[in-house]
Chains A and B, each alone.
Chain A
Amino acid sequence: MAAATASRSGLRSALPLLAPAYLWLTVAIFLPLSAMVFFSFMTELPLSGKPWAFTLGNYAAFFSQSLYLTLLLASLRLGLEVTLWCIVIGYPAAYVLAKVLKGRSREAIFLLVILPFWSNGLVRIFSWAMVLREGGILDTALNAVLPFKINIDLMYSYPAVIIGLVHSYVPYMVLTCYLTLQAIDDSLIEAGRSLGASRLQVLKRVIIPLSMPGLVAGAALIFVPVVGSFMEPRILGGRTGTFYGTVIEDQFVAVFNWPLGAALSFILLAVVLVILAAASPVLKRAA
């Protein structure tokens, strides 16, 4: 469609418009990522004054000390759990939005669900501290309702980290699933029903397969940042909140072993890219 106006002048005319944006991306994203890979093979940062040499030691550290591998696995498990919870909570919500609600109430509620999505993540994590503390709102409310005394002190625990992360990321799942569910023609569902399929069968055979691209996109969008999260486990997990991301943070702000931090970051990047590559066939089918 754009082809008519397009190929007239090609790259020569496009370049002045493209160059500033892509130069900026190169200096601030692509060169840094390449530099990170480079530095991860050094003993010391150059410019720090100390002598430096090339080494595989930073990667050796990852594979020889089981701590890093354990933490990476813990982070992957955290990512998996959060993603599953987001599917369990988000998918039904997306379905109701796409297929049950109509007109203006749908528009308004959709907006309300994705509104927190761009609000400050740090602040939303902090807000859970108010709820989960001992003597916090959850504790007080439950003790007011229940006849017996219980102590809810979820703060600084693994469940607290899960709750905070699910709260942060569930709008992604609702958004991506809603977009694919909305595109499913209602007549397909009616056809299935009138041919004698039960509601569950229609869900299993028609709705879920057709909305798979949305589910996979949402899962990838959630899994990747959760595996690299460090602020959420720090605030809500306290001492139990040590994950792969927090160890990387430590290398840069506390231990100052940047080359090791770069190696750990690069390993995480490799894992992330493998996951995105695995998800991409399903995503391409959607596009």
Chain B
Amino acid sequence: MATTRVLEWLGRLYIWLLLAFLYLPIIIMALMSFNVSPFYQLPFEWTTEWYASLWQNDQLIAATWNSVEIAVITTIVCTVLGSAASLALYRYEFRGKKFLQALLFPPIAIPWLITGTAMLIFFFGVGIGRGLHAILLGHVALALPYVIVVVSARLQTFAPELEEAARSLGANQWQVTWRVTLPWIMPGVIAGGLFAFAVSFDQFVVSYFLATPGQTTLPVEIYAAIRKGFTPEINAVSTIIIVVSMALMLLTARFFKFGGEK
């Protein structure tokens, strides 16, 4: 089957071309953050001055801390609330359960532009206002459905007999949850938490509408900088972000397979 071999070979080649398409711009952007020329001129000359000048940029550093803080709080709140909700949806039968599960999809499916502007209007209207607290409120809501979906998927692999066994051995509800169920779903909880961190840390659209000049996050600052003009400093901070988020994603993949191999 010579044709099969040729087709397979072409297939592999194609995948590598796709990977090149996906990664080349990012690699070029990262390389330019180490180039001397502020106008991205070649030939390439190595420097780390753009990274050094990031350290002088107080506004950017403040925004970075805001981003990290919001992402960490989002992660903690989402894993706790999300795991509790997943457990309830798994354990109990009640009317309206299907409806509650269906409610998780609008936040994922509706474009962030719509969600973001709606939050802006509502938060402004009821006096919550804008700023970091509003951004946090929004991020948790955006990440929660993801966490519930991921933890629920993990719960599907849980054998309810384990809970029965623990109960018949005299464990109370709290002990069953803490000693039996939770350890089993832990990989799902960790993966859900990492998802939540990524959703929050990379979130631009919703933060953009809820930020105020003093209270802003890193992606919002970067967008403002890009619209003023391209500088290697933007490349440097972008490179840091992309490395952080890809590392997080790899970590997530360790804990949770995306429905891939069985």
Binding site for B on A (CB under 8 A): 1-11, 13-15, 17-18, 20-22, 24-25, 27-33, 35-36, 39, 45-47, 89, 92-93, 95-97, 100-101, 107, 109-124, 126-131, 133, 135-137, 140, 167, 170-171, 174-175, 178-179, 182, 220, 224-225, 227-231, 234-235, 245, 248-249, 252-253, 258, 261-262, 265, 268-269, 272, 276
A36, B205: Cβ atoms closer than 8 Å? no
B107, A25: Cβ atoms closer than 8 Å? yes
A122, B12: Cβ atoms closer than 8 Å? no
A127, B25: Cβ atoms closer than 8 Å? yes
Given contacts A5-B164, A276-B109, are A17 and B88 in contact (CB under 8 A)?
yes
Q: What is the CA–CA distance of A225 and B14 in the complex, to the nearest angstrom?
A: 27
A3, B93: Cβ atoms closer than 8 Å? yes
Task: Collect the chain A residues with CB atoms within 8 Å of residue B81's CB.
Answer: 20-21, 24
Q: What is the CA–CA distance of A39 and B123 in the complex, to the nearest angstrom?
A: 13
B137, A258: Cβ atoms closer than 8 Å? no
Given contacts A20-B81, A35-B121, A265-B118, are A126 and B234 in contact (CB under 8 A)?
yes
A-B contact pairs, 26 of them (CB 8 A): A10-B92, A10-B93, A18-B89, A21-B81, A22-B103, A29-B115, A29-B141, A30-B103, A47-B125, A47-B127, A95-B11, A97-B15, A100-B12, A111-B250, A118-B248, A118-B249, A123-B242, A126-B234, A127-B238, A129-B226, A167-B22, A252-B209, A253-B208, A262-B121, A265-B117, A272-B109
Q: What is the CA–CA distance of A97 and B227 in the complex, to the nearest angstrom?
A: 38
Q: Which of B48-56, B58-66, B182-190, B253-261 contacts A (4 or more CB under 8 A)?
A: B253-261
B84, A127: Cβ atoms closer than 8 Å? no
The minimal Cβ–Cβ distance linking B111 to chain A, given in whole angstroms, is: 3
The minimal Cβ–Cβ distance linking A208 to chain B, given in whole angstroms, is: 17
> Is B28 at the interface (CB under 8 A from chain A)?
yes
> Is B70 at the interface (CB under 8 A from chain A)?
no
A167, B21: Cβ atoms closer than 8 Å? yes
Q: What is the CA–CA distance of A127 and B260 in the complex, to the nearest angstrom?
A: 29
The minimal Cβ–Cβ distance linking B186 to chain A, given in whole angstroms, is: 18
Partner of A9, one of B92, B113, B205, B230: B92
6 more contacts with CB within 8 A, not counting A25-B107, A262-B118, are A6-B93, A11-B95, A32-B119, A33-B118, A39-B121, A96-B12
Looking across the interface, which residue of chain B has its beta carbon closest to that of A7? Answer: B93
Q: What is the CA–CA distance of A124 and B21 in the complex, to the nearest angstrom?
A: 12
Task: Collect the chain A residues with CB atoms within 8 Å of residue B85's CB.
Answer: 17-18, 20-22
The minimal Cβ–Cβ distance linking B165 to chain A, given in whole angstroms, is: 12
A126, B29: Cβ atoms closer than 8 Å? yes
Task: Collect the chain B residues with CB atoms within 8 Å of residue A24's CB.
Answer: 81, 137, 140-141, 144
A28, B117: Cβ atoms closer than 8 Å? no
B92, A1: Cβ atoms closer than 8 Å? no
Task: Collect the chain A residues with CB atoms within 8 Å of residue B110's CB.
Answer: 33, 224, 269, 272
A121, B22: Cβ atoms closer than 8 Å? no
Given contacts A13-B92, A115-B249, A225-B112, are A89 and B28 in contact (CB under 8 A)?
no
Pairs of residues from A and B, 4 with the lowest C-beta to C-beta distance, nearest first: A228-B111, A28-B141, A32-B122, A17-B88
Q: What is the CA–CA distance of A107 and B230 in the complex, to the nearest angstrom?
A: 37
Looking across the interface, which residue of chain A has its beta carbon closest to that of B252? Answer: A118
User: Quick one: which of B210-262 are within 8 Å of A by CB?
Assistant: 219, 222-223, 226-227, 230, 234-235, 238, 241-242, 245-246, 248-250, 252-253, 258-261
B103, A25: Cβ atoms closer than 8 Å? yes
Q: What is the CA–CA distance of A170 and B25 in the complex, to the nearest angstrom?
A: 15
User: Quick one: which of B1-18 are within 8 Å of A by CB?
Assistant: 8, 11-12, 14-15, 18
B202, A120: Cβ atoms closer than 8 Å? yes
The minimal Cβ–Cβ distance linking B8 to chain A, given in whole angstroms, is: 5
Q: What is the CA–CA distance of A9 and B88 in the complex, to the nearest angstrom?
A: 11
Partner of B118, one of A32, A111, A170: A32
B11, A179: Cβ atoms closer than 8 Å? no
B32, A130: Cβ atoms closer than 8 Å? yes
Given contacts A101-B15, A130-B25, are A31 and B122 in contact (CB under 8 A)?
yes
Q: What is the CA–CA distance of A119 and B202 in the complex, to the nearest angstrom?
A: 7
Looking across the interface, which residue of chain A has its beta carbon closest to that of B195? Answer: A118
The minimal Cβ–Cβ distance linking A236 to chain B, given in whole angstroms, is: 10
A45, B222: Cβ atoms closer than 8 Å? no
Q: What is the CA–CA distance of A8 and B90 in the complex, to the nearest angstrom?
A: 12
The minimal Cβ–Cβ distance linking B82 to chain A, given in whole angstroms, is: 6
Q: What is the CA–CA distance of A224 and B115 in the complex, to the nearest angstrom?
A: 13
Partner of B92, one of A11, A46, A122: A11
